[in-house]
Every structure is written in C-alpha cells, then in structure tokens.
Amino acid sequence: MATRLDGKVVSKRILSELQQTVTGLAQQGVTPTLAVILVGSDPASQVYVRNKQRRAEEIGVRPLMFKLPEETSQKTLLAKVAELNQDPDVDGILVQLPLPKQLDERVVINAIDPDKDVDGFSPVSVGRLWTNEPTVVASTPYGIMALLDAYQIDVTGKRVVIVGRSNIVGRPLAGLMVNHDATVTIAHSKTRDLKALTREADILVVAIGVPHFIGADAVKPGATVIDVGISRGADGKLHGDVDADAVEPVAGALTPVPGGVGPMTIASLMAQTVELAKRRLHG
Ligand code: NDP
C-alpha cells in the first residue's frame, strides 16, 4: 500500500513553526502583512479568500482584505495595486484570480511589485525561477516540494512527469523540479501516448482537473504520485485526478484528495508572506 502523503499534518506543522517565526518578527517590530484583492463575487474565490484570511489570522500574519465590486475598472484596480506597492507595511500582494472579464489579468499581475508578488505569477518571478535565482514561487508547486521534503522523498536525478502545463501549477513546478536536479517532462492535452510516459515516472504529478483520470495502469510500481486535481463530483464530494483506490496498491506514495496538496498550498502562501516580511529586517 502506498504511503499517504498527508498534507494536513505537514501543513499544520509548517503553520505552527511559522507562528513562532511571526511572533519573533513581531518582537522586532515587523508584522507580516498580506494584502488580498478580490474583485467580484465568484463563490469559489470568496471561499479561497476567506480561507487565506483565516489561516493568516491564525498565525499572526495581518491580512488586509480589499473586496472590490464586479464592475471595477482596470484603472481602479491598478490604482489599488500601485497604492499597495508603495505601502511599506505591505509584504505580499495577491490578486485573486480569475478576474471579471473587463479586467486584463496579465496587465494586473504585471503591475504588482515583483518583490511583493507573493503568488509568484509575474514574469519577473517566473524568470527568476527559471534562472534559479531566489524568488517567490506559486504556492501549489512550492507546497508540493515542501510535502516531498517532509517525507524525505529526494527528487535528485529522478524522472518526474508533470501532467498539466498551467502557469499556476505545471510550469512553475517544472522549474522547481529542474532547480532541484530532477529530470522533468511536462505533458498536456496534446501529448501522445500519455500513459507510456506516465508509466516511466518515478514521481508523477497530475494537475489537469479531470477526476480519476490516472488509473493503476498509468503508474509505475513504487512511484510517488502527487494528485493536484480537485473536482466536485455529482455526489458532492471532492475528487482528485487520480483514481486513488486503484492506484494505492501500485504506488509507493500518494497524496489524498482532499488533505494532500490543498492544505500545503495555503501554508506555502503563508510561508512566503513571512519570507517577504523577513526582508524588511534583513534586506
Ligand atoms: P488548467 O485548466 O489551467 O490546466 C489544465 C492542464 O491540464 C492544461 O495544461 C491541459 O492541457 C491539461 N489537460 C487537460 N486535460 C488533459 C488530458 N486529458 N490529458 C492531458 N492533459 C490534460 O488547470 P489548473 O492547473 O489551474 O488546475 C488543475 C487542477 O488542479 C484543477 O482540478 C484545479 O482545481 C486543481 N488545483 C488544485 C490546487 C490545490 O491547491 N490543490 C491549486 C491549483 C489547482 P492544455 O494546456 O493542452 O490545455
């Protein structure tokens, strides 16, 4: 049976360590501050933003929440970002995606000061990642690396196959894996003979949003399988991209859904907010 890579347990540990770090920073006069901008009323975004606020408060990070109306103009949003860029008390700025249609996501993300870009989505952050310079990286890939690290799963020299090439998961994870000396292949919807490829993976990461897409026949015996996907089924339950019941007897390690990558993502956002805050002291 595959080892369960428990993101709930690991993220709790990380958050409690962060809480201590935040206490130490507060004693030196720095309160890590995360500004979150939510435009409109997308129900899923509202839940994500509420969770981020709650986690931040739990560990002593100050959340600054800005809820702007659905019809907010690009100019208004950019003015808010510019104001937060200038605010010396703000360490990280996050614009919750997706944005309403009248707003250009790329322009808005590019407007965030790269040194406050806590989501790591800006081209500057992505460039730093791919040139292996210190940078903030997207929270989900960061969380996946932290989870592997917690279970002492070394990626050095391993064959890693990532299914999904989004800017928030697949691509940045590929950069991190390369920086950690893995041999990486990125697959996507146009990839031919995907199963043959995934079967070669020592570490298989699936981030496509198609429930139970990966079955036992797509997994090399003993492989580590990271299931990023989250879809709500007709049964109202959350499902991953991996058919966990089928894959568990084959894989060496597997992340559950829920309780795997999800909790690591939010802990990683907090970890990177705290890292940015530390720069106020150490430059
Ligand atoms: P996107 O929709 O942005 O990207 C999906 C990727 O999957 C694309 O690259 C697409 O290929 C590829 N893909 C889709 N179908 C197939 C297929 N049949 N075979 C191979 N590749 C395929 O998704 P996200 O990256 O934003 O999210 C992916 C999943 O991860 C979702 O379920 C999302 O909810 C979840 N997620 C979970 C997080 C967490 O914290 N646990 C955080 C972020 C996302 P192509 O590029 O060719 O279209």
**Ligand 1 mean position, distance from CA 120 (Å):** 18
Residue 259 burial (CB < 10 Å; 0-12/13-18/19+)? middle
CA-to-CA separations, 55 to 17, 111, 184, in angstroms, rounded: 13, 26, 32
Report the pLDDT averaged over residues 14-26. Answer: 98
47: Cα separation from own chain's centroid? 16
Mean pLDDT, the chain, whole residue set: 97
Give tens-digit pLDDT for 113-166: 999 999 999 999 999 999 999 999 999 999 999 999 999 999 999 999 999 999
Residue 283 has pLDDT above 90, yes or no: no
With contact defined as beta carbons under 8 Å apart, do 204 and 224 qualify?
Answer: yes
The Å distance, Cα 25 to ligand 1 centre, comes to: 37
User: What is the pLDDT at residue 282?
Assistant: 79
Q: Is 190 a catalytic residue?
A: no
- Distance from the CA of 212 to the center of ligand 1, in angstroms? 13
Of 119, 202, 227, 241, which residue is the catalytic one? 119
How much distance in Å is there from the Cα of 220 to the middle of ligand 1? 21
What values do phi and psi take at 105, rounded to 5? Answer: -55, -45
- Please tell me the predicted confidence (pLDDT) of residue 130: 98
Confidence class of residue 45 from pLDDT cuts 50, 70 and 90? very high
Q: Please give the pLDDT value at position 80.
A: 98
**91 given a catalytic annotation:** no
Active-site position among 6, 96, 116, 272: 96
Instruction: Please report, rounded to a whole number, the percentage of residues in the chain having pLDDT higher than 90.
Output: 97
By DSSP bridging, strand 159-163 and strand 183-187 are: parallel
The three-state (H, E, C) secondary structure of 51-65, written as one string: HHHHHHHHHCCEEEE
30 vs 62: CA distance, rounded Å: 10
Q: For ligand 1, which residues put their CB under 6 angstroms from it?
A: 140, 163-166, 168-170, 187-191, 194, 207-210, 228-231, 261-262, 265
Instruction: For a ligand 1 pocket test, name from 161, 169, 185 the mutation site with the most ligand atoms within 8 angstroms of its C-beta.
Output: 169
DSSP the chain: -PEE--HHHHHHHHHHHHHHHHHHHHHTT---EEEEEEES--HHHHHHHHHHHHHHHHHT-EEEEEEE-TT--HHHHHHHHHHHHH-TT--EEEEPSSPPTTS-HHHHHHHS-GGGBTT--SHHHHHHHHTT-S----HHHHHHHHHHHHTT---TT-EEEEE---TTTHHHHHHHHHHTT-EEEEE-TT-SSHHHHHTT-SEEEE-S--TT-B-GGGS-TT-EEEE---EE-TTS-EE-SB-HHHHTTT-SEE--SSSSHHHHHHHHHHHHHHHHHHHHHH-
Note whether 117 and 136 are within 8 A (CB): yes
Q: What is the band of 221 on the pLDDT scale with cuts at 50, 70, 90? A: very high
The pLDDT of residue 54 is 97
52 is catalytic: yes
**Other C-beta atoms within 10 Å of 200: how many?**
12
Return the residue whose CA atom lies nearest to atom 18 of ligand 1: 189
Q: How many of the other CB atoms lie within 10 Å of CB of 242?
A: 30
